[in-house]
Chain A
C-alpha cells in the first residue's frame, strides 16, 4: 500500500516573527526554516505504518520554491522512500495546494494521504479537508490514533470536549494532531541516505493546475500590544484587586 505525505516548509516554531514595517508581510529573510511540526508527525506516522508492514511505499510531497527540497530531504531522512516537489515561486494558498495534491493523488493512486492539521505560518487548517473534498475521499482530521487495515482505517480524533473514533473506507485523507506520535530524531547516516533518494520535480503547469491566489493580502500588522500590568506583593492584595479594581470575582 502506498502512502502520500504532504510537507510544508515554514518558519521554525521557535522563531518569533516580526512584522515588516511597510505592512506587506512578516520578515522571513534570514530566519530559520523547518518542516511544519504537524507535517513531521505525518511523515513519522507514515514511516511507522511502513515499519509495521502494512505500507510498502511512503512518498513525500512539498509545494513551493526550490528550497522545499531541503524539507523533502528531511522527510526522506525520517524514512520516506522518495520525494516530489511541485516547484513554483507563486504564493501558494491552501486551495491551490489541495489542487496540486489532488493531481498527484490521481497520478500516484495512494490508499492513504496524511497531512498536518495546520501549518504554523498561515494557521489555515484547510488543505487536508480541501484535498479530501476535491478527490471525493473520506477524511479524519485532528488524528491522535491511526489503525490501518487492508481496506479501511480507524482513526481516533481530537474534538471539542473529548475524542471520537471514525472508520473510513480507503483511500482516505488523515490530518494529524500533536498527540499522534513523537517524531524521531534524524540520524546522520539517514541524512546521508536521504540525499541519494529519488526526488522528482514538477511545475504546476505540468499538473494542469492554476495556482493563482484567491485571497489578496491587503496588509499585515502587529497585533494590539497588551501592556504589562502591576505586580502584587501577596495573595491578599491580589484578591482585593480582583474584587474591587477589576471587579471580576
Chain B
C-alpha cells in the first residue's frame, strides 16, 4: 500500500500545504511518494526529497506542466496512478482543480477536504459549511483525496532523504492555454500559512478605512490580512482575502476579527484557529460565541489603540 502526494509548488520550492498533505498520507498507513509535476522544477523536487517520511520523489519535468493546467497535470498523475492505493492532493485551488479529473478517469469517488484519517478507507470530512462532520468509507480500489490542510500538522520539511526518480512529462492537451496571471503582491504572510491573521468585516465601511485601520495592526503583528465575505462583496477587500466556507479555510495561532458579525459561512473558515479575538460593538454578535477573548467596542477606536499598545 503506497500513497502518492501531489506536491503544491512554484517550481523552485515546495509550498507548506504539501507538508500537511504528507502527514495525512502517512496516516493512511503505507509508504509515501511525492509527485512534483512542473517545468524546470529540479529545486522543488530536491526540497520534496527532504520532507520527513517521504520515501520517493517522482519528478515530471515538462513545459506542459509550467502553468498547472488541469488537463495536463491530471494526465501526469494518471500516468503513474496504477501504482498507488491513495492519491492525495492538498485542498488548494490547484488541488481542487485537478483531483476530480483524476478520480473521474479512474472511475472512483473522490473524498473531498478530509480532516481526519480514521482508517485507510474511512475518513472524516466537514459538510454543510462545517456544521456537520461526515464519516465516509470508500468502496473504491483507489482513494482519491483532497486534504484540508488545517486538519493535519505539517510534516517536517527537512530530515528526509528520498530518492528522486524522473518520469516522462506528458504532452500538452492542446485544449487549454495559459494567458496570464495577476498575483496580488503582498509583503504579508499568505493567509493559509500565517501564524496570526487579522480580519475585517463590513463595519469598516470602505476600502480606504479597511486599509487605514486594519493594515497597521497586520503590520505590527506580522499578520496575514483577511476579510469577511460581506467586506469582500462590498468591495472593501480583494476576493483572495476572503475567509470562510467559500473562501480560505484558516487555522492560525491567533485570529483577530474586527467588525465581523460572525455569519455561519465565516465561522466555517476560521473556527479552528487556536485563539480567537473578536472586536465588535454589537455585544449580541454571533462571533462572540466562538471568541476566546471578546471586546465590545467600536473598532475604529479599539484597533488603533491595540496597535499603539503593541509598541
A216 pairs with B137, CB closer than 8 A? yes
- Residues of chain A within 8 A (CB-CB) of B275 are 242, 246, 248
- Residues of chain B within 8 A (CB-CB) of A169 are 174-176
- Of the listed residues B102, B181, B229, the one surrounded by the most CB atoms of chain A closer than 10 A to its CB is B181
CA distance A162 to B164 in the complex (A): 32
Q: How far is the CB of B288 from chain A (nearest CB, A)?
A: 6
A242 pairs with B245, CB closer than 8 A? no
Mask for A172-205, Cβ within 8 A of B = 1, else 0? Answer: 1000011100000000000000000000000000
**Chain B binding surface, main DSSP class:** mixed
- Find residues 71-129 in chain B having any chain A CB closer than 8 Å to their own CB: 71, 74, 92-94, 96-105, 107-113, 122, 126-129
Q: How far is the CB of B154 from chain A (nearest CB, A)?
A: 17
B176 pairs with A221, CB closer than 8 A? no
When A133-B74, A235-B295, A238-B293 are in contact, do A167 and B177 touch as well, CB less than 8 Å?
yes
Q: How far is the CB of B253 from chain A (nearest CB, A)?
A: 5
The verdict on A166 contacting chain B, using a C-beta distance below 8 Å, is: yes
B181 pairs with A221, CB closer than 8 A? no
The verdict on B239 contacting chain A, using a C-beta distance below 8 Å, is: yes
Mask for B258-291, Cβ within 8 A of A = 1, else 0? Answer: 0000001100000100111100000100001111
A125 pairs with B96, CB closer than 8 A? yes
Q: Chain B residue with minimal CB distance to A235?
A: B305
The verdict on B240 contacting chain A, using a C-beta distance below 8 Å, is: yes
CA distance A127 to B101 in the complex (A): 9
B289 pairs with A228, CB closer than 8 A? yes
CA distance A167 to B100 in the complex (A): 20
CA distance A215 to B103 in the complex (A): 13
The verdict on B26 contacting chain A, using a C-beta distance below 8 Å, is: no
8 Å CB contact of A142 from B93, B112, B229: B93
B128 pairs with A121, CB closer than 8 A? yes
CA distance A239 to B306 in the complex (A): 7
The verdict on A1 contacting chain B, using a C-beta distance below 8 Å, is: no
B112 pairs with A126, CB closer than 8 A? yes
When A133-B100, A163-B181, A232-B293 are in contact, do A217 and B175 touch as well, CB less than 8 Å?
no
- Residues of chain A within 8 A (CB-CB) of B293 are 229-232, 238, 241-242, 246
The verdict on A223 contacting chain B, using a C-beta distance below 8 Å, is: yes
- Find residues 175-219 in chain B having any chain A CB closer than 8 Å to their own CB: 175-184, 190, 192, 196
The verdict on B140 contacting chain A, using a C-beta distance below 8 Å, is: yes
The verdict on A140 contacting chain B, using a C-beta distance below 8 Å, is: yes
- Residues of chain B within 8 A (CB-CB) of A113 are none
A139 pairs with B112, CB closer than 8 A? no
Q: Chain A residue with minimal CB distance to B288?
A: A228
CA distance A100 to B87 in the complex (A): 25
A120 pairs with B109, CB closer than 8 A? no
The verdict on A78 contacting chain B, using a C-beta distance below 8 Å, is: no
- Find residues 91-143 in chain A having any chain B CB closer than 8 Å to their own CB: 93-95, 98, 120-134, 137-142
When A123-B126, A141-B97 are in contact, do A93 and B131 touch as well, CB less than 8 Å?
no
B264 pairs with A122, CB closer than 8 A? no
The 6 closest A-B pairs by CB, nearest first: A129-B100, A229-B292, A214-B109, A138-B175, A130-B104, A138-B176
Not counting A19-B132, A249-B254, a sample of 13 additional A-B residue pairs whose C-beta atoms are within 8 angstroms of each other reads A129-B70, A130-B103, A132-B101, A154-B179, A159-B94, A159-B181, A162-B183, A179-B239, A217-B135, A223-B126, A232-B295, A248-B253, A248-B254
Q: What are 30 A-B pairs at a CB distance below 8 A?
A: A17-B128, A95-B103, A95-B108, A121-B128, A123-B126, A128-B100, A130-B100, A130-B103, A133-B104, A134-B105, A137-B175, A138-B176, A139-B71, A163-B181, A165-B178, A166-B179, A179-B239, A214-B109, A214-B139, A216-B139, A217-B136, A220-B133, A220-B134, A226-B271, A231-B283, A238-B295, A238-B306, A246-B254, A246-B293, A249-B254
On A, residues with C-beta under 8 Å from B are: 11, 13, 16-17, 19, 26, 93-95, 98, 120-134, 137-142, 144, 154, 157-169, 172, 177-179, 213-223, 226, 228-232, 234-236, 238-239, 241-242, 246, 248-249
